[in-house]
Amino acid sequence: MSSIETFKTEDSLMAPFFNKQKISIERGEGVYVFDEEGNRYLDFTGGWGVTSLGHAHPVILDALLEQGKKIIQNPNSGLTYSPARAKLLTVLREILPDHLTKIFFTNSGAESNDAAIKLARKTTGRTDVISAHGSFHGRTISTASATGQSKHRDKFHPLMPNYRFVEFNHLAAIERAMDGSVAAVILEPVQGEGGVRVPAKNYLKEVEKLCHKNGSLLIADEIQTGFCRMGPMFVTASLGVKADILTLAKGIAGGFPFGAFAVSKRVAEKIEIGDHGGTYCGNPLGCAVSYAVIQYLIKNRISENVLKMSKLALQHLSKTKNKYPDMILEIRGKGLLLLIDFGSEPMATQVKNTCLTNGLMVTQTNGTGIRVFPALTIEEQELEEGLAILDQVIAMISKCS
């Protein structure tokens, strides 16, 4: 097929949930992707945060091939044991905070959050969940109801009840919302889809204290921030925060659809047979890929690369902001989850589209932002190439405005 044929087929047959850019990606290699005509693009989208090792990474391909030749899905699924699952559980137990004693696997971040909310209510015997304005926790009806952005929530009434929303990074707001009906507080360590909002350093730790004082659970949504995206393996662990439930996905398997959640002993002790499940719940193929990705992150010290590349990117972007103060309001973020806030949605859209025509794929976030969100394995020369294209595009638009 050609790109034109692919456009026609998808436009006529696929449910219209996306306003797509006219580009049909056929293959990828590292931080680069190629369309059906062979044109090359540098990927600063990270597949929305999942392609942590880039595209077509050999360790993922080897894991897929080796496990695929053995077994992909267990007979009787979760009712049988799996050596692939046991290996992944072992490596996760080594990197997760010590207080998180039990782990379960899902198909996605939304499913992980959905299960966390369900188990928080069961564990505490309470109904209400506090979430933050600007948050994003998924697209199931339960997690959409927990998401603090009206555009993702308000058209799907009736929503699930018993969610309360407070200002992000505002301890007093959470304290005021606390009472004997609150089962849990669910928070992202950094709001990704909400515009890459980084809270005060002590925010999550203080929320943890408020939760424990009130008898509520803290659910840390590390779906976007986990697995070295911000530098540390997990942001909560680096801050000394002991979440009762930690939800994981995206970078956990380098692009293979996979997720997980880990729970504290307090939660695990109240879990009973039948409280949760799933057809896949850690299928051998997903477990093998996730194990290979996590081992690669550890052995190759990807955390160090993230911190190095982040420092370079922030220095570069700060200089760009100083050159174009009328266009760029703010540079924010940590690790390789960074955002350029243009303050204007039309301008951000123009930057995104012009970047594409110049060989760089970027994600527009929360209307006015452009994310720098590449693979965690990106090298200095590749990072500089992408940032140079961004500079050229911003300079071009500045001249024309």
Q: What pairing do the DSSP bridges indicate for beta strands 182-187 and 128-132?
A: parallel
Contact 163, 156 (CB under 8 A): no
Instruction: Copy the structure tokens of residue 280.
Output: 């896949």
Q: Which of 221, 227, 256, 261 is catalytic?
A: 221
Please give the sequence-ordered ranges of beta strands (E in DSSP) within 150-303, or none if there are none: 163-166, 182-187, 217-221, 245-248, 259-264
Amino acid at 210: L
Contact 57, 31 (CB under 8 A): no
196 in the Ramachandran plot: left (φ > 0), alpha (ψ -120 to 50) or beta? left
Q: Is 242 helix (H, G, I), strand (E, B) or coil?
A: coil
Contact 67, 285 (CB under 8 A): yes
CA 354 vs. chain centroid, Å, equals 25
Closest CA to 195 of 36, 318, 364, 315: 364
- Rounded CA-CA distance 109/257 in Å is 9
| 136 annotated active-site | yes
| 98 annotated active-site | no
The residues near 131 (Cβ < 8 Å, ≥ 6 apart) are: 137, 146, 147, 148, 163, 164, 165, 166, 185, 186, 187
Q: Which of 242, 250, 334, 352 is catalytic?
A: 250
Closest CA to 142 of 219, 50, 198, 211: 219
- Cα within 13 Å of Cα(401), Cβ side: 14
Q: Is the peptide bond before 346 cis (omega within 30 degrees of 0)?
A: no
Instruction: Copy the structure tokens of residue 65.
Output: 């091939």
Instruction: Copy the structure tokens of residue 200.
Output: 């005060």
Residue spans of alpha helices (H) in 24-108: 46-49, 58-68, 83-95
Residues linked to residue 259 through DSSP beta bridges, in sequence order: 106
Q: Which of 44, 105, 136, 227 is catalytic?
A: 136
| 326 annotated active-site | no
Catalytic residues: 136, 221, 250
